[in-house]
Chain A
Amino acid sequence: MAEPSTLAIYRRLVAAQVRSQASYRASFALDLVSNVVFLGADLLAVLVVFYRVPVLGGFSLTDTLLVFGLSSLGFSLADLTVGNIDKMSRHVRTGLLDAVLIRPLGVLWQLLVLDVGVRRLGRVCSGVVVLVIAVRLAEVPVTPANLLLLVVTPLAGAVFFSAVFVATATVAFWWVDSGELTAALTYGGRDFTSYPMTVYGGWFRHLLAFGLGFGFVAYYPALVLLDRPDPLGGPAWLGWCGPLLAAVAAALAALVWRTGVRQYRSTGS
């Protein structure tokens, strides 16, 4: 009885948030539209690159679009649900965190639903459109395995990016001005994963793709979908590692978060 109704409470809180944001009608509509435009601009950047060179790091435009689509859909899902956590330092300053701590619900979940960025829905929609177009253009064979991978990959990517959002935002507990770090790893991570790994050089690629795990968000799954061997020599099963990696990242982020809250409650800053 207790568990499903907790979910119902959160559903109500999200609905309240949608009503709140929709109460500023013009601004809400404008935000929805502008978020579609933003994705268009990112897409344009990819197209411009391929206007100059036909092949980038061994990948054609259509192949790259698939990588881009997987990455941006995963990211925009995370941005929609968890992205506002980057205002953490403001919540600490304004005392919203205290208000949340005196309610009988989990702290992180409350902060997320109290601030869910409904206006970013536009980006998710256009992310889906880009991905569908990319799948058609790259002539990805429609097999059950591929369909499964196409669904699982953006979801795992969303969990992974969410973990990055939460972990970096938690730094606000120690260091109030941490917005830059969050942006570098989240938006930076999205840009990194939008292109095939082959375009990046040595140590940088190793650090981000394997050290931080960004390689599994879009690149390796895309190789499986395109049925191509990895030019960098990785085995094909790497494409299916996204969910595992996302689970590990989520666990680490939860640990960092708990430590952060404990720290806040013992230092009050």
Chain B
Amino acid sequence: MNVIEAHGLRKDFTVRVRKGLLRRESRAVAAVDGVDLTVRRGELLGYLGPNGAGKSTTLKMLTGVLHPSGGTVAVCGLTPVPQRIQLARRIGVVFGQRSQLWWDLPLGDSYELLRHIYRVPAAEHAARLRRCRDLLELDPFLDTPVRQLSLGQRMRGELTAALLHGPEVLFLDEPTIGLDVVSKQAVRGFLAELGATGDTTIVLTTHDLADIERLCRRIVVIDHGRVVHDGGIDALHARYGSQRRVVVDFDTAPAAVPTLPGVHLEATAGPRLTFTLDGTASVGALVSALSALGGLRDLAVTEPEIEEVIARLYRS
């Protein structure tokens, strides 16, 4: 079942450009330019793109904050803007840059207020809060005013706030931005666990590629408001020619090097050979061909860095 369904989704902004002293020209700029997106229940989707690609604008249209300029969108079977209030009860949203919490009150007070805002039965609320308190280790700062929390503590607090009403879909806009390594890991571990249960669909935008490698089986990349990739990380590697490397050491430099489809000899340095493999080539085939030569001492395979792949994608 599809929790999110968007077809030809677009959003135009009017940009005014000064031309001379009084003359101004209006120009429509498409921030989101015909995005098709379907997300099944329980998926954990990474939504990527460079700054200004239209990630946040898409999220705002999916959550009912902004009205699409064109296309259709349904989240949990609801149309976000006209059915904003119904939808709000069924989704959770964390904007990394914008707090949902009451700044001057103890963290726990925010949760009590949210329980009333979302009209969550007390027992349900208590059970969810207990789970978040355990997994995100909130207890040490539950009585601290939010303004005194560290960024990492606050983000754990924000995640909890977005989950207390038991949303079917969780939208996260850069949830790990600015966090230290430990907090990032805590947040990622929590999201991985949440995603693993399969009850909650998660859509996550991020610039942190470790988030994606750790969490997302499927990623959608947008650039200039258009989807440029939709699929698994493997498919991304295959498509954008990301290359695995095989580095082999021989006792002595071999006389002849086997040639296989999709395998290139990148460098030779005495007894050390470095091969690059296209997405489709098999490491196994190369290794068995090399060991047939005899005198193979050591072998290492390095996976391509997703950073490299994404950078290549943004440039193209």
Contacts and interface: CB of A to CB of B under 8 A. Distances in A.
Contacts of A98: 60, 65, 95, 98
A102 B88 contact: yes
A98 B97 CA distance: 11
Main secondary structure on chain A at its contact with chain B? helix
B68 to A, nearest CB: 9
B117 A101 contact: no
A105 B85 contact: yes
A258 interface: no
A102 B102 CA distance: 15
A19 B67 contact: no
A20 B105 contact: yes
A16 B109 contact: yes
Nearest to A17: B102
Contacts, number: 75
Q: Is the interface on chain A under 10, 10 to 19, 20 to 34, or 35 or more residues?
A: 20 to 34
Interface residues of B, number: 35
Nearest to A269: B13
B95 A23 contact: no
Nearest to A94: B98
Given A9-B117, A268-B13, A23 B88 contact: no
A218 B137 CA distance: 57
B95 A99 contact: yes
Given A23-B145, A99-B99, A265 B65 contact: yes
A23 B66 contact: no
B103 interface: yes
B98 A101 contact: no
Contacts of A102: 63-65, 88, 91, 93
A102 B69 CA distance: 19
Given A104-B89, A265-B66, A20 B118 contact: no
A13 B113 contact: yes
A143 interface: no
Interface of B: 11, 13-14, 57, 60, 63-67, 69, 81, 84-86, 88-89, 91, 93, 95, 97-100, 102-105, 109, 113, 116-119, 145
16 contacts: A13-B117, A16-B113, A19-B105, A23-B104, A23-B105, A94-B98, A95-B97, A95-B98, A96-B98, A99-B95, A99-B100, A101-B84, A104-B85, A104-B89, A265-B66, A267-B14
4 cross-chain pairs, A with B, having the tightest CB-CB distances, nearest first:
A20-B104, A104-B88, A95-B98, A265-B67
